[in-house]
Amino acid sequence: MLAVYFDCPGGPENLYVKEVMKPQPGEGEVLVKVSASALNRADIVQRRGKYPPPKGASDILGLEAAGSVAGFGPGCKGRWKIGDAVMALLSGGGQAEYVTVPEGYLMPIPNDMTFIQAAAIPEAWLTAFQLLHFVGKIQKGERVLIHAGASGVGMAAIQLVRLAKAVPVVTAGTQEKLKAAANAGAAAGFNYKSEDFSEKVLEFTQGAGVDIILDCVGGSYWEKNLSCLSTDGRWIVYGLLGGGEVHGDLLARLLSKRGSIHTSLLRSRDKEASNSYQQSFTEDVLPYFSRGASPHLETLIDSIYPLHEIAEAHRLMEENKNIGKIVIEMPA
């Protein structure tokens, strides 16, 4: 099969497509013929040599995939049949023509949805769902600040906050991204490059602040985050795009608000936890992607690249210009 590879860490130019052995499904695993995958920040960090796959995971890039069931390993429980349209969150291996997936990780692709659209769901939507419901324990009416509001996770989080009958507020770096976030349901959006988002958030919430912050930026935002966090608020860090170092009296500031910091990395979760998230997501969220559902959830796709143009896809994400997901299409 064909798969994305790089021989040494570095820039996008190190990526290439090569022929490798097709994986064989092990105990309780399903072989999936991949039609589409999608790009994530983790792929970029792994390519740079700073985010190795978990022990036992494929070293091929790709944390999500959509395709059809092509085979079974021993011990599968018969939940799926050959040809079923499925998607999955992976610990690696999605940017290849075939991938093996634990049977319980597979999710059905909603009716009327293409493989391209489905490939944009697993990582972004499961991340946002897990952060909001399992970590943040979102409640009706709460206000949620979502950084990188026009990213894949950001656009998913906006819609999931709305689905939970709460209020999404976002930051983004361009007016175009803020407009896209508003179209997805953001109640307010602020340009972090041209205005102090913490002041704007406090103004929007009439001084109360936000109950939950979904933060993929980290260190460089800590003071502004704490300024606009409500009393008893939950600050959830799931990425460190702005670095991991904090200089200042973070604990005293946090203590004064009885705030809490949570951290989460979906990729390194154990199988039981991952199955729990996926089962809840399949039951509680997936039906809203179907045509005619109300409210209706939608994936936002920025661009589609064929597998052989994987380096170009990485360059686009590194330029931070995409609004929504960058999807990788496998050869027909």
CB 143 within 8 A of CB 202: no
179-199 b/e (C-beta count within 10 Å ≥ 16 → b):
ebbbebbbbbbbebeeeebbe
Res 248: pLDDT: 77
Res 39: pLDDT: 96
Residue 44 structural domain? 2-123+267-329
Compute, in degrees rounded to 10, the torsion defined by CA atoms 331, 94, 76, 69.
-20
Query: Would you say the pTM of this structure is higher than 0.75?
Result: yes
Residues 259, 279, single domain; the answer is: no
Res 223: pLDDT: 87
Rounded to 5 degrees, what are φ and ψ at 279? -65, -45
Between CA 156 and CA 151 the distance in angstroms is 8
Residue 226, domain member (yes or no): yes
Structure tokens at 224: 């502004």
Residues 273, 257, single domain; the answer is: no
Residue 129, domain member (yes or no): no
Give per-residue pLDDT as tens, 25-66.
999 999 999 999 999 999 999 999 998 888 888 999 999 999
Residues 117, 195, single domain; the answer is: no
Number of domains in the chain: 2
Residues 108, 162, single domain; the answer is: no
Res 242: pLDDT: 72
Res 56: pLDDT: 86
Residue 131, domain member (yes or no): no
CB 233 within 8 A of CB 255: no
Residues 88, 21, single domain; the answer is: yes
Residue 142, domain member (yes or no): yes
Instruction: Tell me which residues of the chain have a pLDDT lower than 50.
Output: none
